[in-house]
């Protein structure tokens, strides 16, 4: 497919999405549609100084929508980042949030909008039981999401991942109204993404689709979305990494990322259960860590997913049509994208193994793994990922 064949379209699943090259020009219109008059644009520090941010702010200003920028966010956002953002939002009298960037901007910005009018501490809204019902819905500001990476899919998610500096754990904050009301997916904004970040975030999208597909339970809609998301990754991620200017590849990877985050309402699993504490303790990139851990979790889950993976292999037209077909595809894809085979190569070691497995067992994603998880089998997967053992 050539760049010219990339469609422009609107759809409403799971929220209103405006997809296509050049759609960022509709940002002011999106603000008006939601009644936002003084937006706070929350973005990553790495892109805060780029023309795309200056252009968006200038366009809003010209439309009579004074827009401030907040970008004091770490790669793995911590509670302190959110608190600083809330202070900026309240001081500026902002009435809506534009989350513009990758996963860190999405997570921090959505949480800032969520906490804007709350009186309880943020951790009172962690994704456990019905804690989300503690929130005052009227205190949640409207959110517009503009993703510039293709991995987390947080633009269509109802949650954010924030690190609690007190115990160095990644915690999930959830509320249905954290779902952005309007998403603008413009592949032009992703063109400058380095090949390595394109690869890592793309593997994050794959991890979301694969774990949603593998999760137990009956959710045919999520399974179908996950299947097509994986097909898009198979076809377009290598192209996007090899040629970052290919708008068709960039656009289809944006859609794959959104599909992964839509599908994982069914659940995730041990890839994320392990990746969350590893990222929190060793400061590794989330998508990159998911990519490294992925095959070791697949092998552990094999007794529960072999039949499903055979169907996946047929859908992806992989030779052999079996579990091994999918495993070999993942291994070959990682290698072709120059992603490491072991956690050791990421600078991870066993110095905090007890804390990793403790956090992994308690992670909200652990309960929907294909097979039951405990500290013993999580420890085994972690050690295998350190040592590169797939037996």
List of residues 6+ apart from 44 with CB closer than 8 A: 71, 73, 101, 102, 104, 105, 148
Question: How far is the C-alpha of 321 from the C-alpha of 326, rounded, in Å?
Answer: 8
Question: How far is the C-alpha of 321 from the C-alpha of 200, rounded, in Å?
Answer: 26
Contact call for residues 153 and 115 (beta carbons, < 8 A): no
Quick check: bond before 47 cis, omega within 30? no
| Per-residue pLDDT tens digits of the chain, which is 391 residues long | 445 578 899 999 999 999 999 999 999 999 999 999 999 999 999 999 999 999 999 999 999 999 999 999 998 899 999 999 999 999 999 999 999 999 899 999 999 999 999 999 999 999 888 999 999 999 999 999 999 999 999 999 999 999 999 988 889 999 999 999 999 999 999 998 999 999 999 999 999 999 999 999 999 999 999 999 999 999 999 999 999 999 999 999 999 999 999 999 999 999 999 999 999 999 999 999 999 999 999 999 999 999 999 999 999 999 999 999 999 999 999 999 999 999 999 999 999 999 999 999 999 999 999 999 999 999 999 999 999 999 7
Contact call for residues 318 and 256 (beta carbons, < 8 A): no
Largest CA distance in the chain: 61
Q: Report the DSSP pairing between strands 169-174 and 68-70.
A: unpaired
List of residues 6+ apart from 375 with CB closer than 8 A: 357, 358, 360, 361
Question: How far is the C-alpha of 377 from the C-alpha of 371, rounded, in Å?
Answer: 10
- Token pair recorded at residue 150: 């293709």
Q: 119 burial class (0-12, 13-18, 19+ CB within 10 angstroms)?
A: exposed
**Domains annotated on the chain, with CATH:** 3-189 (3.40.50.1970), 193-387 (1.20.1090.10)
- Stated pTM of the model: 0.94
Contact call for residues 286 and 279 (beta carbons, < 8 A): yes
| 310-317 contact pairs (CB < 8 A, 24+) | 312/213, 312/227, 312/230, 315/227, 315/230, 315/231, 316/230, 316/231, 316/234
Give Cα 251 distance to the centre of its chain. Answer: 16
Ramachandran bin of 243, using left for φ above 0, alpha for ψ from -120 to 50, beta for the remaining angles? beta
Residue 7's pLDDT is: 86
Question: How far is the C-alpha of 343 from the C-alpha of 380, rounded, in Å?
Answer: 13
Give Cα 292 distance to the centre of its chain. Answer: 16
Residue 3's pLDDT is: 52
Q: Give the number of residues written for the chain.
A: 391
Question: How far is the C-alpha of 113 from the C-alpha of 80, rounded, in Å?
Answer: 15
Question: How far is the C-alpha of 118 from the C-alpha of 308, rounded, in Å?
Answer: 43
């Amino acid at each position: 497919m050539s760049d010219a064949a990339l469609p422009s379209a609107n759809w409403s699943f799971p929220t209103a999405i405006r997809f296509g090259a050049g759609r960022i020009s509709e940002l002011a219109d999106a603000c008006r549609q939601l009644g936002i008059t003084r937006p706070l644009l929350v973005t990553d520090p790495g892109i805060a100084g780029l023309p795309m941010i200056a252009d968006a702010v200038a366009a809003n200003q010209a439309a009579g929508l004074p827009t401030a920028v907040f970008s004091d966010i770490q790669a793995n956002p911590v509670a302190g980042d959110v608190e600083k953002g809330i202070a900026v939002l309240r001081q500026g009298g902002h009435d809506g949030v534009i989350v513009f960037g990758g996963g860190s901007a999405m997570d921090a910005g959505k949480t800032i909008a969520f906490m804007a009018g709350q009186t309880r501490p943020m951790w009172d809204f962690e994704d456990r039981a019905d804690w989300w019902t503690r929130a005052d819905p009227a205190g949640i500001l409207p959110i517009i999401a503009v993703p510039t990476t293709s991995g987390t899919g947080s633009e269509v998610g109802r949650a954010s991942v924030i690190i609690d500096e007190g115990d160095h754990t990644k915690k999930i904050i959830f509320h249905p109204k954290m779902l952005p009301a309007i998403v603008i997916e413009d592949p032009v904004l992703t063109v400058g993404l380095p090949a390595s970040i394109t690869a890592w975030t793309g593997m994050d999208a794959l991890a979301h689709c694969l774990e949603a597909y593998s999760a137990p339970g009956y959710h045919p809609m999520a399974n179908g979305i996950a299947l097509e998301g994986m097909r898009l990754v198979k076809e377009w991620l290598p192209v996007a990494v090899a040629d970052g200017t290919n708008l068709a590849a960039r656009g289809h990877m944006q859609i794959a990322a959104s599909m992964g985050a839509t599908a994982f309402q069914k659940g995730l699993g041990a890839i994320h259960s392990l990746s969350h504490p590893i990222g929190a303790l060793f400061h590794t990139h989330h998508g990159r860590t998911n990519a490294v851990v992925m095959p070791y979790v697949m092998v552990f889950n094999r007794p529960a997913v072999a039949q499903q993976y055979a169907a996946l292999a047929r859908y992806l037209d992989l030779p052999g049509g079996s579990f091994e077909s999918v495993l070999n595809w993942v291994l070959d894809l990682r290698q072709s994208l120059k992603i490491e085979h072991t956690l050791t190569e990421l600078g991870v070691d066993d110095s905090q193994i007890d804390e990793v497995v403790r956090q992994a067992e308690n992670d909200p994603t652990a309960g929907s793994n294909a097979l039951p998880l405990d500290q013993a089998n999580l420890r085994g997967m972690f050690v295998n990922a350190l040592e590169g053992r797939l037996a």
